[in-house]
Chain A
Amino acid sequence: MLASKALAFIKRDYRIESSYKFAFVFEALTTVFPLVSFYFIGRLVGPQGPGGGLARYGGQYFPFALVGIAVSQYLLLSLGTFSRTIRRSQMAGCLEATLSAQTSPQAVIVFSSLYCFATKLLHTLLVFVLGWLVFGVHLQQANFLSAAVVLALTVAAFSGLGILSAAFIVLLKKGDPIEWCIGAASSLLGGAVFPIEVMPGWMQALSVLFPITYSIEAMRMAILRGWGLEMLWKPVAILAVMAAILLPAGIWAFTAAVAQGRRDGSLMHY
């Protein structure tokens, strides 16, 4: 029954999104455009020797940035999609009708984001395909199994934070502090477009608190250097622990926020 509910959410979102004819194309273009800029920055920087900060990633800037951009875009989506879904339902007036049906709030929040995750995964794959076919990034040695495991764990950890952020939206309607703090800090400290080693010591110390740091590093090693799970055990273990803590915490907070909304009569407010 859960599977058919999940499918119903995916179908709903596909039907709504596909009714806006050009949205998918323009969103894909928005994902791809930054690649061109970073390709030229890569040409400006040029290849680095063994002593450079990029040596452990193969010495080239563009492949380094390509993985960082693709992964960070996907992760920031995991952070924002839950709260955006709730906000959209509040604005559209459908949240109360959805929560009055025989489906738990936890299932509603998780299933509502599935379509968004699927389309953004397509965009991310498009980024890698373009990087490989158009910009000549070598992906022959990539270890896709490791990359998939790292991505799944990171999505789980970030989804926990995203659902927590949706809980704030249920209560505050606008001005969610989680997405603002974690999103902004992750973009800066995660090392998406520069190695974290170039940051001052205190910023490097802060970066270890965010799942994105481990995720981007592990994805780079899996895709650019072909590392297997046995070599990536440390970031994988840290991500697994973060996911195990953040996901249940997020779901608990969201359930509590919906119950509070029912007590305050504010579920329909926006």
Chain B
Amino acid sequence: MIVHREAEVRSGGAAPAVCLTDVTMRYPLPKRYREMLLSPWKRRYVTVLREVCLTIMPGQTLGILGPNGAGKTTLLKLIGGLLYPHAGTIAVGGCDTQRANNQVRRKVGFVLNEDRSFYWRLTGRQNLEFFGALDNMAGLALRRRSERLLELAGLKNAADTRVSDYSCGMRQRLAIARGLLAEPEVLILDEPTRSLDPVGAESLRALIAGDVRSGGARTLVIATHQIEEARQLCDAVAILSFGRLVDWVSVEQARHGCDGLAGHYRRAVCRKEALEC
């Protein structure tokens, strides 16, 4: 709850863009044949997020840091309404992700880190036009929006090339263009520079910091493993470990600490690991 209140105080009381209250998420474990026969109705679960409270204010860019398996992607999917929490509530722009899922999908854009989330037999432009139609756009407006986003993502010259012929970096840029199609208030990016070379990653970060962030008009939630990326792009960082939100720090505040954001992250994660052991 400390994290919750700290963000609210910083915002000066404005309505939050995203608000998670005591969110717990668990996944069912696959059953063995023996279990299916002996206890067909009993399910076993693994808990991936525990009682997470988090508030993200409009225009803020929040980084989610944490080791592999900490629950970063699950947290992002919960905020985007792709998953429903086992307990607790999540509100985006005041709408509950479970009860008002349609409204939430209008407010949130999702940049999945999954290469296969595109139709590889279609071109970049055809993919954008298809997903744009799903986001309630049509005709000339859709064509213009797709053209504009392809240009913004630096894919204008590859617009009519099949996605199967795109490089990883190009697919990642196309994912960002897709996330921006419906001009969302909140954009969620799951490891946007994963598997990109240093130059490609740098250029993608510049795109996110500039046009995607839109001068602070859009709220961004970015999961990343890279401290430097979080330092460059984010206003604040939430640190997850073993499914718990163990720390929340503003990048500015961490910069003035003894060993910067990296040290802060290391301390938060190691402390949690020691407690779990």
Contacts and interface: CB of A to CB of B under 8 A. Distances in A.
Q: For the complex, would chain B's binding face be called helix, strand, loop or mixed by DSSP majority? A: mixed
Interface stretch (A8-16, A125-133, A201-209): A8-16
A101 interface: yes
Interface stretch (A216-224, A225-233, A257-265): A257-265
A19 B120 CA distance: 11
B82 A4 contact: no
A163 interface: no
Interface of B: 25, 27-28, 74, 77, 80-84, 86, 102, 105-106, 110, 112, 114-122, 126, 129-131, 133-136, 138-139, 178, 182
Given A93-B114, A100-B105, A104-B102, A16 B122 contact: yes
Given A12-B119, A93-B116, 5 more contacts: A16-B121, A99-B82, A100-B80, A100-B81, A262-B81
Nearest to B80: A100
B30 to A, nearest CB: 10
Interface string A179-213: 00000000000000000000000000000000000
Contact of A262 (B82, B118, B131, B136): B82
A85 to B, nearest CB: 13
A44 interface: no
Interface string A133-148: 0000000000000000
B112 A97 contact: yes
18 contacts: A1-B138, A4-B138, A5-B133, A15-B121, A92-B120, A94-B117, A94-B118, A96-B112, A97-B110, A97-B114, A97-B131, A97-B178, A99-B82, A100-B82, A102-B102, A103-B134, A263-B86, A265-B27
B84 A259 contact: yes
Contact of A1 (B28, B110, B136): B136
Contacts of B81: 100, 262
A108 to B, nearest CB: 8
A100 B28 CA distance: 22
Interface residues of A, number: 30
Interface of A: 1, 4-5, 7-8, 11-12, 15-16, 19, 92-94, 96-104, 259, 262-268
A101 to B, nearest CB: 4
Contact of A15 (B117, B126, B178): B126
B110 A100 contact: yes
Given A97-B131, A102-B134, A263-B84, A92 B119 contact: yes
A265 B45 CA distance: 12
B134 A5 contact: yes
A262 B130 CA distance: 23
CB-based closest 10 A-B pairs: A93-B116, A8-B133, A101-B134, A4-B138, A97-B117, A103-B134, A262-B84, A19-B121, A16-B121, A263-B84
Instruction: Name which of A15, A103, A262 has the most chain B CB atoms within 10 A of its CB.
Output: A262
B77 A11 contact: no
A20 B206 CA distance: 38
Nearest to A11: B130
Contacts of A15: 121-122, 126
B256 to A, nearest CB: 38
